[in-house]
Every structure is written in C-alpha cells, then in structure tokens.
Amino acid sequence: MSETPSKPATLHDVARLAQVSYQTVSRVINNHPNVAKETRVRVLQAIHTLDYRPNRAARILITGRSQTLQLISFNLAFFQPIQYIIHEARELGYRLGISALRDPSSREELQALLDDLTTGMVDGFLLFGPEVNLNFEDFNRMCRGIPFVQIGANPGPMIPAVVFDQRHGTRQAIQHLLDLGHRSIAEIWGNLSIYDAKIRHETYLEVMQSNGLTPGPHIGTDFTIPSGFQAACQLIKQDMPFTALVCGNDQVALGVLRALHQHHIRVPEDVSVVGFDDDLNVAYYEPPLTTVRQDYTAQGRQGIQYLVSLIKDPLTLRYQQIIYPELIIRESTARIRSMKMVS
C-alpha cells in the first residue's frame, strides 16, 4: 500500500515552528528590513526545516507583484549586457524573461508582443534597441502603465533609459590616433540601421572635418569578423592611402587584423587599428587591441536597479542615465613611424 504524500508546509506552519506571527514570516520572505536579526534567523531555519516553498500566486495577490521582469530585444546577438542583467535581477530577487523582436523597426510587432506580455504577470520591462520612434506617452500606453527602462539605442525625450555616450567614445578613439600623429585615418563602420553604429560613423566624419582633415576611405560591415576581413581587403585595394583604421566594433577589428596580416601589413608599424566595445578576448588578439570600453556590467546593473526603483516608487524621476566609454590603449596603435601609407 503506497504512503499518502505529505502535505506541503504552509506559511502558518513556518510561523508556528518559528514562534512568530505569519506576518513576520511574510516580511522575512519579502526581505523586509524591519525584522530583528535573531527573528530572521529563526524564521529562515524553520523554512529550511519544513522545506517551505512560498506559493507564488498567493504572494502576487498579497504584494501585487510577480517579481518578474521582461527583457525585449531586437537582436540578442548584439546585446552584451544580458548576462549582467540576469545576474543583477537575481540579486534583487527577480526572475527575468527574454523576448526577441524579428523586425526592430516594426511598431506593430512591438505592440503585439507587449499586448501579450502585459496580460501576464510582469512587473516591468527592459527595452533594448527597438528602432521605433515613440515618445514616453506612446511607450507608456503600449506597456499599459507597467514601468519600463530603455537600454541603449536612441531613447526619446522623458523615456527612462541607460545609454552609452557613443560620441564621447568615438572622439576618444580618433583623438588618440591624432595625438599619435595620424592624419590619414580610414574607417570600417557597422550597420548604419543600428543607432550606435550610425552615431559612431557620424562622429568620425565630424571629428575629421573639425580638425581640417579629409575623412579617409570608409566602408560598411554587418559587425561580424568575416565582414571586417572583407571590408579591409577592399580598402587595401583602393587607391586611397591610410596609416590608421577605426573599426565599428571589436569583431570587425579581428577580421581587419587578419586581412592586414594576409597582405603583409604590420600592426601597428604600418597601420594602427582601434576597435570598439572591449570584448573579453581582445587583450589576447595579436597584437592586443586598442579599443573603446563600454562597461556592460554597469549598464546591466544600472538598468535593472533603475527599473526596480520605478516599480517600487512610481514617482521616481524619469531621465536618461549616461555611461561614458573609456579608451583602453594596447599594442595595436603606435605613433606614426614614417609617411609610408597603406594603399
């Protein structure tokens, strides 16, 4: 004869074992600060002893919150902060769901996705990169009043956001090359339908022109290693010499380094190369890559913290948090050593 399965422990069972009120147990579960240390320890021991699992549905009814956040991205392949967002969400006691848009320019697809998600149990949204021209009122209506924070891209006025100053980072990269004596600076830019790539390319043109220089040869890529390789090969074949090369991101730079090596062009002796992002492995490229570091750890942490603050206090000010990229100088750039230029 089989044994009858034991009944799951309840909040009241924990309260009886810990000799406290069920309200105190609830405060411990929700990490409320107004609980004495000794009491908290006793309640946690009772929870462990009884193997108590809080009923999520009941908790939602009591608190009005699901402790669930949703990340919406148009292309997860380009979204480096994701691991840091997941970590920070867990640290703050939240689950994180992830959805991807197929068409970043489709307002209809974004609306349909948000309609589906807002009928579920989601406390807040992180929006990454949907290139949809919406103001705060539009986003707020589409999210049905659920708090949201935009990560990166081009947030409209009054939209709470955490973004990198792409102009600041690009200016640092080009000024570094100018300080090294370079004047013929080529560029391999990324997909200009992506806002960050567009701003980096525009800033390159602006800085060159503001220094009285003619922009060097430039060509686009899709932000991948093969496209960086192919673009560099095309630049080398053009009759437009250069002594330095600015890359749309570090993946492009890796393809560039391979192409230059294949054509017997030395880095940095013949051409200096600068990347963008400071990916994990670029310090181990040959040579180690000078690049512009974007602190994705900070972006992920600040994005989640900002969203949680909006969830807990609807009166939290809405503004754009700016993170300034940092130039990291390694061995792929050097002072111009001769007037010999790649052509």
Q: With H, G, I as helix, E, B as strand and everything else as coil, classify residue 51.
A: coil
Identical topology for domains 11-63 and 68-164+296-324: no
* Per-residue confidence band for 307, with pLDDT thresholds at 50, 70 and 90: very high
* In contact, 146 and 122? CB cutoff 8 Å: yes
Residue found by looking up tokens 């949680």 in the block = 308
Query: For the domain 11-63, what is the CATH superfamily, name and number?
Result: lambda repressor-like DNA-binding domains (1.10.260.40)
Alpha carbons 309 and 239: distance in angstroms, whole number? 55
What is the per-residue pLDDT for 109? 85
Alpha carbons 245 and 296: distance in angstroms, whole number? 24
Domain range list for the chain: 11-63, 68-164+296-324, 166-294
Residue found by looking up tokens 């686009």 in the block = 220
Query: Cis peptide leading into 217, omega within 30 of 0?
Result: no
Burial of 116 (0-12, 13-18, 19+ CB in 10 A): exposed
Residue 232's Cα: distance from chain center in Å? 27
CA atoms within 13 A on the CB side of 55: 9
The domain 166-294: what is its CATH number?
3.40.50.2300
Alpha carbons 49 and 19: distance in angstroms, whole number? 14
Higher pLDDT, 133 or 248: 248
According to DSSP, the residues that pair with 128 across neighbouring strands are 73, 151
The two structure tokens encoding residue 111: 């609306």
According to DSSP, the residues that pair with 149 across neighbouring strands are 126
At 260-291, the pLDDT tens digits run: 999 999 999 999 999 999 998 999 999 999 99
DSSP string of 22-73, one letter each residue: HHHHHHHHTT-S-S-HHHHHHHHHHHHHHT----HHHHHHHHS---EEEEEE
Highest mean pLDDT among 7-11, 144-148, 253-257: 253-257
Residues in Cβ contact with 238 at an 8 Å cutoff, skipping those fewer than 6 apart: 217, 343
* Per-residue confidence band for 4, with pLDDT thresholds at 50, 70 and 90: very low
Highest mean pLDDT among 8-22, 76-90, 160-174: 160-174
Residue 131's identity, in one-letter code, is E
* Per-residue confidence band for 75, with pLDDT thresholds at 50, 70 and 90: low
Category of 152 on φ-ψ map: left (φ > 0), alpha (ψ -120 to 50) or beta:
left
What is the per-residue pLDDT for 31? 67
What is the per-residue pLDDT for 142? 86
Residue found by looking up tokens 């989601």 in the block = 122
Residues in Cβ contact with 5 at an 8 Å cutoff, skipping those fewer than 6 apart: none
The dihedral over CA atoms of 64, 68, 72, 75, expressed in degrees to the nearest 10, equals 180
The two structure tokens encoding residue 251: 């993946």
Question: Average pLDDT of the chain?
Answer: 86
What is the per-residue pLDDT for 28? 82
Alpha carbons 178 and 336: distance in angstroms, whole number? 10
In the DSSP assignment, the letter for residue 211 is: T
DSSP string of 153-204, one letter each residue: S-PPTT--EEEE-HHHHHHHHHHHHHHTT---EEEEE--TTSHHHHHHHHHH
What is the per-residue pLDDT for 342? 57
Q: Which CATH architecture has domain 68-164+296-324?
A: 3-Layer(aba) Sandwich (3.40)
According to DSSP, the residues that pair with 274 across neighbouring strands are 246, 290
At 23-73, the pLDDT tens digits run: 888 778 766 777 898 998 998 898 888 887 765 545 554 555 667 898 888
Over residues 312-328, mean pLDDT:
92
* Per-residue confidence band for 293, with pLDDT thresholds at 50, 70 and 90: very high
Residue found by looking up tokens 């955490």 in the block = 162
Alpha carbons 260 and 71: distance in angstroms, whole number? 39
Q: With H, G, I as helix, E, B as strand and everything else as coil, classify residue 305.
A: helix
At 230-271, the pLDDT tens digits run: 999 999 998 789 999 999 999 999 999 999 999 999 999 999
Reported residue count of the chain is: 343
* In contact, 153 and 131? CB cutoff 8 Å: yes
Nearest residue to 317 (alpha-carbon basis) of 129, 149, 70: 149
